[in-house]
A and B are shown apart, each in its own frame.
Chain A
């Protein structure tokens, strides 16, 4: 998802404490920052929430790419609002991570030097305007699949961040669908553009849910802790079932010749994405990995004088106030 392949940490602590902790989670209680928690729970959450936050921030790059070139002023205002929302989502999540005992700067630096990841999807380029529609429709659509259940996650601050995010996310998906629908219902050239966007974003969107359950080694502990609610394959199937009729409405073709409704299962059968491509992108070899990290590093470095200047100003003002008292 926005957090893919998050390694779950084993905990070697007092079995009694661990059992009591698990009982709280099983009873549906929320764990709050000052409560006792296993080291592994804390570490896994920092990794997962951090990766989720980084995805929100890095995810603004492919979309920001089109803000100045949106086809109308209205589309531009909408896209700008969406990108601003994503930055806000990053903020909520960073704040949730901070309650676990890392600082914002530490988490940021781990992104910038590659120690922490962000979702594989944002390493694909946004080549034409219809891509912006496809991103809202498919990428945000896939994100919602995962984020809605995460509202019930066991960690209080994470759950509250998810509730805020989900409230705003539906706008994102709808604006995307609206944008790609305008293309799909437009001139033949515009429709071709919409189809091209679907062709390129379909499989990377399926990859967002992470590897198939059989290869997903970290799920069990995370699911027991309720920091992962559904398996990767469950969510992927749900996404396909929901999205295929939406594509049909647009008159677009999902690029999968094996896609077929399975009456017996009550689900669509579909082809898996190329998992070797997924692992390659995760390793840093996707089309945009280098650019994305370079852009984030540049923004961080170029903004340093602003951060330092504002802090110096705040300290000077505070000192003047003390002197005046």
Chain B
């Protein structure tokens, strides 16, 4: 049996009401210890107000080779951006 502690990915919410952001990884025997360890390593200088941990094996990720099919279609859809539309100056701020 593999006796290495599993790997966890750590996400921290900064102080500014932002979403949780990936900050790094660590090993821990369970979620409770992962949060304790994350607190000890990743919030030493007021970096956060909330911690999420997720066991790394539970993360599904897109494959680098799918980059084209996944993201290229949006490149041609410039009308999805507000700057695509000309609004006359007389209309005011919009």
> Which stretch, A134-142, A215-223, A282-290, A303-311, touches the partner chain B?
A303-311
| Cross-chain contact of A314 among B29, B44, B45 (Cβ < 8 A) | B29
Q: In chain B between 1 and 48, which residues have their CB closer than 8 angstroms to a CB of chain A?
A: 3-5, 7, 24-27, 29-30, 33, 40-41, 44-45
- A85 adjacent to B30 (CB under 8 Å): no
- B24 adjacent to A164 (CB under 8 Å): yes
Q: Give the size category of A's interface with B.
A: 20 to 34
Q: How far is the CB of A97 from chain B (nearest CB, A)?
A: 11
**A265 an interface residue at 8 Å Cβ cutoff?**
no
Q: How far is the CB of B40 from chain A (nearest CB, A)?
A: 8
**A238 an interface residue at 8 Å Cβ cutoff?**
no
**B61 an interface residue at 8 Å Cβ cutoff?**
yes
- A310 adjacent to B29 (CB under 8 Å): yes
Q: Which 6 residue pairs spanning A and B have beta carbons closest together?
A: A314-B30, A314-B29, A310-B29, A95-B25, A88-B41, A311-B29
**B64 an interface residue at 8 Å Cβ cutoff?**
yes
**A98 an interface residue at 8 Å Cβ cutoff?**
yes
| Cross-chain contact of A308 among B3, B25, B26 (Cβ < 8 A) | B3
**A128 an interface residue at 8 Å Cβ cutoff?**
no
A250–B41 alpha-carbon span in the complex (Å) = 34
Please indicate the chain A residues that have their CB under 8 angstroms from the CB of B29 in the complex: 307, 310-311, 313-314
A98–B4 alpha-carbon span in the complex (Å) = 13
Q: How far is the CB of A217 from chain B (nearest CB, A)?
A: 32
| Cross-chain contact of A84 among B4, B26, B44, B61 (Cβ < 8 A) | B44
